[in-house]
């Protein structure tokens, strides 16, 4: 027998990842206070979360979770179709459907599961799923698991999508795209994609994990921003774990399609329901997200200020107006060095490397939250400049690299307790955003 030894294979692959600067290491957050994180004993200002609206620690959201947990317990206890479907789930589904102007919403354990559910329950052998090349990994895996053909078109290219659909005229078709792209921050050309879907009799599915709450009128996402009704865009993914600050997801849209998911999607049927307390927290978060335009206005101000400052300093940004602002670094080693140098100044920014992004496009994925203040943005731009200069002078090669300038941002967030400027270990890798 010549069966490969799995332990050996794992060890070799790990060695290869390390040799290519591709190893991934989790960082331990011991406390978080808004945008401030205590990581490995050092307080840092974070520019890496998806808590865009700053709702994850909002008082009424926490209160809703605590109250419901006190009354109903902490567990989901069973799947929705057994005895796990609770009034808190029902209320959240209704609120989401009402907010997004769709007949139905169906909750899922996560966005990843929801994407698996949609593709798997609608498509099978002989069908085709046409996708943007930069779609999230869960959509790609969904098509692979569904056993359908997977065709990918160049990023943001609606004509490419049309060509792919035209080239596979037999079998049912789903045209799937991120609404806001998770690593690039730009928005899909949804009106053109809706047209391609209509002409080619495909169903358009928009994964709006990073759009809902952030873009569109009342935060209704990229679909509402593109003024598409349910007939043109029958299914939309909403995640509860990003702008809404909680955990879980929902698919919102056409009643027949959503009802079909509830009865047939394996990632819906064979898994425990979200805890009702989590659903209650998300309901409180949705109500705030619908109402609080100031959070989106604040994000716009922060993003504009950052782009103006970073471009003035000669950094390469991608064309994004959303809170996801990638700063291009090229090589993996440079992206990691920039992240380390930023960390030395108390700024936590994720370095994103292939395979999460294409080869040669490693970047800092900088994200903003409505909880940041303008001085935080200015401090980040200053820290980026310092990092670039420090790397040009060999940052990371000497012990004295520990002494970065004090770049703590707004006084609002800095305190004596938080002011530690200890340099992080050079051995750290950087976690990559989901
Ligand atoms: C575009 C996109 N879709 C889906 C997901 C998965 O959502 P979740 O984190 O709720 O599993 C993510 C991120 O995680 C994402 O960025």
**Residue 302's pLDDT is what?**
98
| Claim to verify: residue 258 and residue 342 sit in the same structural domain | no
Distance between Cα 420 and ligand 1 center (Å): 33
Distance between Cα 365 and ligand 1 center (Å): 15
**Residue 31's pLDDT is what?**
97
Q: How confident is the model at residue 24 (pLDDT cuts 50, 70, 90)?
A: confident
- Is the shortest distance between the CB of 178 and ligand 1 below 6 Å? yes
Contact 53, 292 (CB under 8 A): yes
In the predicted structure, residue 427 carries a pLDDT above the cut 70: no
CATH number at residue 257: 3.40.640.10
In the predicted structure, residue 148 carries a pLDDT above the cut 70: yes
Which atom of ligand 1 is least distant from the CA of 182? 16
| Claim to verify: residue 317 and residue 273 sit in the same structural domain | no
Give me the number of domains the chain comprises: 2
Q: What are 350's strand-pairing partners?
A: 365
In a domain, 7, yes or no: no
| Claim to verify: residue 269 and residue 169 sit in the same structural domain | yes
CATH number at residue 311: 3.90.1150.10
In a domain, 21, yes or no: no
Distance between Cα 90 and ligand 1 center (Å): 22
Ligand 1 atom 10: the closest Cα is on which residue? 111
CA distance 1 to 89: 52
**Residue 432's pLDDT is what?**
36
Average confidence (pLDDT) over 213-225: 98
Out of 120-129, 181-190, 330-339, which region has the weakest mean confidence (pLDDT)? Answer: 330-339
Over the chain, what is the mean pLDDT? 91
- Is the shortest distance between the CB of 434 and ligand 1 below 6 Å? yes
Nearest Cα to Cα of residue 106 among 132, 140, 79: 79
| Claim to verify: residue 350 and residue 229 sit in the same structural domain | no
- Is the shortest distance between the CB of 120 and ligand 1 below 6 Å? no
CA–chain centroid gap for 329, Å, is 20
In sequence order, which residues have a C-beta less than 8 Å from that of residue 314 and are 6 or more positions away?
none
Q: What are 42's strand-pairing partners?
A: 39
Average confidence (pLDDT) over 172-177: 98
| Claim to verify: residue 278 and residue 188 sit in the same structural domain | yes
Distance between Cα 311 and ligand 1 center (Å): 29
Q: At what angle do helices 158-167 and 190-199 cross, to 10 degrees?
A: 20
Task: Give pLDDT tens digits for 282-319.
Answer: 999 999 999 999 999 999 999 999 999 999 999 999 99
| Claim to verify: residue 298 and residue 269 sit in the same structural domain | no
Distance between Cα 111 and ligand 1 center (Å): 5
- Is the shortest distance between the CB of 376 and ligand 1 below 6 Å? no
| Claim to verify: residue 126 and residue 230 sit in the same structural domain | yes
């Amino acid at each position: 027998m010549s069966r490969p030894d799995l332990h050996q294979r794992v060890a070799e692959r790990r060695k290869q990842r390390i040799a290519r600067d591709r190893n991934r290491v989790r960082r331990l957050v011991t406390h978080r206070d808004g945008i401030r994180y205590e990581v490995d004993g050092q307080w840092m200002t974070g520019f890496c979360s998806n808590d865009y609206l700053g709702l994850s620690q909002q008082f009424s959201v926490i209160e809703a979770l605590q109250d419901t947990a006190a009354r109903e317990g902490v567990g989901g206890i069973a799947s929705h179709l057994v005895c796990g479907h609770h009034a808190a789930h029902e209320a959240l589904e209704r609120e989401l459907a009402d907010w997004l102007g769709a007949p139905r919403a169906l909750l899922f354990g996560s966005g990843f599961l929801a994407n698996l559910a949609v593709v798997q329950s609608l498509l099978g052998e002989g069908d085709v799923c046409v996708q943007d090349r930069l779609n999230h990994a869960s959509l790609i895996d969904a098509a692979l698991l569904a056993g359908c053909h997977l065709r990918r078109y160049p990023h943001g290219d609606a004509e490419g999508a049309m060509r792919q659909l035209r080239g596979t005229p037999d079998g049912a078709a789903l045209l799937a795209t991120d609404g806001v792209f998770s690593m690039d921050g730009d928005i899909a050309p949804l009106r053109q994609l809706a047209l391609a879907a209509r002409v080619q009799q495909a169903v358009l599915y928009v994964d709006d994990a990073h759009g809902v709450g952030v873009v569109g009128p009342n935060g209704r996402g990229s679909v509402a921003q593109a003024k598409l009704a349910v007939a043109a865009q029958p299914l939309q993914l909403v995640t509860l774990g990003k702008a809404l600050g909680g955990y879980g997801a929902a698919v919102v849209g056409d009643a027949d399609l959503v009802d079909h998911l509830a009865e047939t999607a394996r990632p819906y049927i064979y898994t425990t329901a979200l805890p009702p307390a989590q659903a209650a927290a998300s309901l409180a978060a949705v109500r705030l997200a619908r109402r609080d335009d100031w959070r989106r206005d604040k994000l716009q101000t922060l993003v504009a200020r950052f782009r103006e400052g970073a471009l003035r300093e000669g950094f390469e940004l991608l064309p994004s107006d959303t809170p996801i602002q990638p700063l291009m670094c090229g090589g993996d080693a440079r992206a990691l060095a920039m992240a380390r140098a930023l960390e030395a100044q108390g700024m936590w920014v994720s370095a994103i490397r292939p395979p999460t992004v294409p080869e040669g496009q490693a970047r800092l994925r900088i994200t903003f939250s409505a909880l940041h203040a303008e001085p935080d943005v200015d401090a980040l731009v200053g820290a980026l400049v310092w990092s670039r200069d420090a790397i040009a002078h060999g940052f990371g090669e000497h012990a004295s690299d520990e002494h970065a300038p004090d770049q703590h941002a707004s006084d609002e967030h800095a305190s004596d307790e938080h002011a530690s400027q200890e340099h992080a270990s050079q051995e750290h890798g950087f976690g990559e955003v989901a």
